[in-house]
Amino acid sequence: MERVLGLGVGPLAAGTVGLLILLKVIQRLRRKQNLQDKVVVITGASSGLGKECARVFHAAGARLILCGRDQKRLQDVVEELRNKNNNGKIQTHTPCTVTFDLSSTSLVSSAAKEILKCHGHVDVLINNAGISYRGNILDTHVSVQRDVMETNYFGPVALTQAILPSMVDRRSGHIVVISSVQGKISIPYRSAYAASKHATQAYFDCLRAEVDRFGLQVSVISPGYIRTNLSINAVTGDGSQYGGEIMLLLSTKLLFSLY
C-alpha cells in the first residue's frame, strides 16, 4: 500500500503544479485580453509611474487617454508608444492626450468632458498624478498645505466625480488611485504629502463601498519608494521646488570635474 501511495504522490504533485502553472498562464492571458480596446485614462502620464503604466497598457492593446499639464511632454510619450514594435501580436492604438492642471479643480470638469468625448466612455480611470512635499511644519505656509491637497486630493476627487456618472450609467468601470505607504503611515517632514494621501485613502475606500452596488471597482494602490522625478519636483515649506537630487547631482559633477 505504501509503495502504491509512494508511486502516486510524485505524479500527483507534478500534475497539481502543472495545473497551477497552466491556470496562472490562462489568468495572465485573460487579463491581457481583457485590456484589448479598453479605454484607459492615466493622469500624470508624462513621467514616472504614469508613463510606465502608459507603456504597459498600450502594449496590452488599451485605448489610452494620457493626461498632464504639458502637451509637449505628453506628445513625446505618444511618439514613443507609436514607435514601439509589438510584433503585431496585439492591436495597439495611438493614444489621445488631454492637457489640464489638476490643481485647478474648476477646470477639471471641462477636461473630463474632453476625456469622455475621446471614445464616448471610460473603462479604467487611473488617478496617478501627484506632487511631493518636503518641509518642517513650523516653516510651512498653510497655502502650501492647501496646494498639495489641491493636486493630490481635490484634483483626483474632482476628476473621479466628473467621470463617475458615466460609469454608473454603464454599470461598468474601474477607478484606480495611486496613493502611497504614506497614505497609511505618516513620517516626519512630509505632513502635506502624508495628509493628502491619507485623505485619498479614506475617500476612495468610501467610494468603493458606495459604488459596489453598481458593479464598479475601486482600487487604492500604495507603493513604497520608487525612483522617479517626484522628489526633485517636491515643493518645500515656502512653495519653492525642492530639487534636492539636482543639487546632489550638480555637486557630484563639480567634485569630479575639480578632481
Ligand X SMILES: NC(=O)C1=CN([C@@H]2O[C@H](COP(=O)(O)OP(=O)(O)OC[C@H]3O[C@@H](n4cnc5c(N)ncnc54)[C@H](OP(=O)(O)O)[C@@H]3O)[C@@H](O)[C@H]2O)C=CC1
Ligand Y SMILES: CCCCCCCCCCCCCCCC(=O)OCC(=O)COP(=O)(O)O
| Residue placing its CB nearer to ligand X in the complex, 47 or 92 | 47
- The least distance separating ligand Y from the CB of residue 134, rounded to whole angstroms, comes to 5
Q: Which does 134 bind (CB under 5 to 8 A by kind): ligand X, ligand Y, none?
A: ligand Y
218: β partners: 175
Asked if 129 is part of the footprint of ligand X (rule: CB under 6 A), the reply reads: yes
The interaxial angle of helices 155-170 and 191-211, nearest 10 deg, is 10
| Residue placing its CB nearer to ligand X in the complex, 119 or 190 | 190
Catalytic residue among 133, 153, 189, 193: 193
Asked if 112 is part of the footprint of ligand Y (rule: CB under 6 A), the reply reads: no
Asked if 49 is part of the footprint of ligand X (rule: CB under 6 A), the reply reads: yes
- The backbone region for 37, taken as left when phi is positive above 0, alpha when psi lies in -120 to 50, beta otherwise, is left
> Which parts of 62-121 interact with ligand X (CB under 6 A)?
68-70, 73, 101-103
DSSP sequence for the chain: -HHHHHHHHHHHHHHHHHHHHHHHHHHHHHHHHHHTT-EEEEETTTSHHHHHHHHHHHHTT-EEEEEES-HHHHHHHHHHHHT---TTSS---PPEEEE--TT-HHHHHHHHHHHHHHHSS-SEEEE-----B---GGG--HHHHHHHHIIIIIHHHHHHHHHHHHHHHHT--EEEEE--GGGTS--TT-HHHHHHHHHHHHHHHHHHHHHGGGT-EEEEE------SSTTTT-B-TTS-B--HHHHHHHHHHHHHHH-
- The least distance separating ligand Y from the CB of residue 197, rounded to whole angstroms, comes to 7
Do 57 and 50 contact (CB within 8 A), yes or no? no
Stretch that binds ligand Y, among 20-28, 113-121, 168-176, 227-235 (CB under 6 A): 227-235
| Residue placing its CB nearer to ligand X in the complex, 70 or 80 | 70
Asked if 135 is part of the footprint of ligand X (rule: CB under 6 A), the reply reads: no
Asked if 256 is part of the footprint of ligand Y (rule: CB under 6 A), the reply reads: no
Q: How many CB atoms sit inside 10 A of residue 70's CB?
A: 11
| Residue placing its CB nearer to ligand Y in the complex, 16 or 136 | 136
Selected binder of ligand X within 40, 44, 115, 190 (CB under 6 A): 44
> Which parts of 46-85 interact with ligand Y (CB under 6 A)?
none
- The least distance separating ligand Y from the CB of residue 178, rounded to whole angstroms, comes to 9
189 catalytically annotated: no
Question: The C-alpha cell of 31 is what?
Answer: 487579463
Selected binder of ligand Y within 13, 14, 19, 181 (CB under 6 A): 181
Active site residues: 193
Q: Which residues bind ligand Y (CB under 6 A)?
A: 132, 134, 180-182, 185, 187, 190, 193, 224-225, 230-231, 234
**Binding interface with ligand X (CB under 6 A):** 43-44, 46-50, 68-70, 73, 101-103, 128-131, 151, 178, 180, 223, 225-226, 228-230, 233
